[in-house]
A and B are shown apart, each in its own frame.
Chain A
Amino acid sequence: MGLSSYISLKDVVFSRSGRRIFNGVSAEIPRGKITAIMGPSGSGKTTLLRLIGGQLRQDSGSILVDGHSISELRRKELYKFREKMGMLFQSGALFTDLSVYENVAFPMRVHTKLPEDMIHDIVLMKLEAVGLRGARKLMPSELSGGMNRRVALARSIALDPELIMYDEPFAGQDPIGMGVLVKLIRDLNSSMGLTSVLVSHDVKESLSICHYACIIADGKVIGTGTPAELQDHPSEQVQQFLNGHPDGPVPFHYPSSAASEDFGLSGGVS
């Protein structure tokens, strides 16, 4: 890619419950850019984020984040390292017993010794950035799905991380909510210089904001490049995914025995 990588995945192999999820995944995620990781449902996109965040450990291969091998960090070092990361979960994952304000203040209260008035100002700035300064007194149960995700975004940038990972940020959003999130992801990346990793299967929205994209299927990377490069990618599987064709390398029909057998036609089906 010609840019320094913030995250480097090399020959990553990972299995869970006897099922091989990744079979030699290699990818470079450039510093300060938005990289979309896309792929069909169940292809292991979220698992990849968890591997990068050190919540799971690969069976073999290496994952370097900012030059550190995540799987080799000790527990305490890993937790310290995660202070440089932010993650937006698909559900938002707000603490339900804390107000919006307290949710955003949480990382600062835990990791810093900032005085209360400074925490107050930072929280309001972060909420202002996501357009929810006026909702600071609400509880998570009083928020809509989109607001919930925006508060979670404000919380994930509370400590000004170097890396932010978005897990299916557009899932279940109405067009307005989706537009707001697209704008926020783009603005945060440009204003804060964050390295952003966006996991999604919303092709249009993801390609509209990412600098690079990486498509995963069948446990490996099947295509990588800029959005323009991917549109012209020679792989049929990449084209099927990007254009949403119902049949192709990923077949419409689930593997089955011959139709003539199931329908009891001895002479075959014409």
Chain B
Amino acid sequence: MIDRIASLGHSGVDFIISFGHAGRFLAGVLSGVPRPATGFPLLMKQLYSVGVLSLAIIVVSGLFIGMVLGLQGYTILSDFGSEAAIGQMIALTLVRELGPVVTALLFAGRAGSALTAEIGLMKATEQLSSMEMMGVDPLRRVIAPRLWAGFIAMPVLAIIFSVVGIWGGMLVGVEWLGVFEGSYWGNMQASVDFWDDVINGVIKSVAFGFVCAWIAVYQGYDCVPTSAGISSATTKTVVYSSLAVLGLDFVLTAVMFGNF
């Protein structure tokens, strides 16, 4: 029993130490003024890699989730004769919750794992060390553009996810199940508040983007430089990011929408 408690204590201490290392790593990445001439092309390259190349999975997922919401929403609301409110339901669900959260989970699976594996492999093949020995700081050259790219791409992807989802909901609700189009858009327009709903959703996705990108680059940079180490780091990126997103979502929702 005592051993178990001691083991739990060790795990807690390890977690705090690891969190401290990650914080110091983040400070190292963010310190210093970025040089636009060299930093901007690197950022654009990473934005393409983590943002543009994630578009396909985001659009397809957004479309299907919107369509499923349309189907489920219509089934439930029609029992109360309120199927005209389907647009409102889909929009609020996507903009407030599913857009930021599902985008972050997909991002962690697609872009986050790729970032970790790429950085981990650069470490294992001594590319990061060779960069250091050439007088180039890998934190600035390799890590910072990837971190900023994740941070910038996430809200954009979440907005695209929500827009496509709303359009998918309309395809099912309006085009297939026959809800009046004016009701679909009108109720949505009347009930979705730009500041309370849209901006809060964007703030959530910015927070998720920051956390997911931070976890991904840190796990890659800190991994044991072997094939097993990279594999473990990639898994940790997906698991930690998913848990962090879901936990953070609860906290942010409580702060933004909880009427205590």
Which residue numbers of A lie inside 8 Å of B, CB to CB? 53, 55, 75, 79-83, 85-87, 89-91, 93-96, 106-107, 110-111, 152, 155-156
Digitize B87-129: 1 where CB-to-A-CB distance is under 8 Å, 0 elsewhere: 0000000000000000000000000000000000000011101
Q: A155 to B130, alpha carbons, bound, how many Å?
A: 10
Counting CB contacts under 8 A, is B136 at the interface? yes
In contact, A91 and B132 (Cβ under 8 angstroms): no
B135 to A82, Cβ gap below 8 A? yes
How far is the CB of B98 from the nearest CB of chain A, in Å?
A: 35
The one of B127, B134, B136, B137 in contact with A96, judged by C-beta atoms closer than 8 angstroms, is B127
Asked if residues A93 and B132 are in contact (CB atoms below 8 Å), the reply is no
Looking at the assembled complex, report how far the CB atom of A99 sits from the nearest CB atom of chain B, in whole angstroms.
15
Determine the distance from Cα of A75 to Cα of B136 in the docked complex, in whole angstroms: 11
B237 → chain A closest CB, angstroms = 20
Q: Which residues of A lie under 8 Å from residue B135 when comparing CB positions?
A: 79-83, 85, 107, 110-111
Whether B133 sits at the interface, judged by CB under 8 Å, is yes
Which 5 residue pairs spanning A and B have beta carbons closest together? A93-B130, A93-B126, A82-B135, A87-B133, A83-B135
Quick one: given A55-B132, A82-B133, are A110 and B38 in contact (CB under 8 Å)? yes
In whole angstroms, what is the CA distance A90 to B133 when docked? 14
Contact of B126 among A80, A82, A91, A107 (CB under 8 A): A91
21 sample A-B contacts, Cβ–Cβ < 8 Å, listed by A number: A53-B132, A55-B129, A55-B132, A55-B133, A82-B132, A82-B134, A86-B133, A87-B130, A87-B133, A89-B129, A91-B125, A91-B126, A93-B126, A93-B127, A94-B127, A96-B127, A107-B134, A107-B135, A110-B135, A110-B136, A155-B134
**B141 → chain A, closest Cβ, in Å?**
8
| CB-nearest residue of chain B to A50 | B129
CA A11 to CA B127, docked complex, whole Å? 31
- A-contact bits for B218-257, CB 8 A (1 contact / 0 none): 0000000000000000000000000000000000000000
A44 to B130 Cα, complex, angstroms: 19
Q: How far is the CB of B40 from chain A (nearest CB, A)?
A: 14
List residues of chain A with CB within 8 A of the CB of B125: 91, 93, 96
- Interchain nearest-CB distance for B15 vs A (Å): 20
**Known pairs A79-B135, A155-B134 / 5 extra A-B pairs, C-beta < 8 Å:** A55-B129, A79-B132, A87-B130, A93-B130, A111-B134
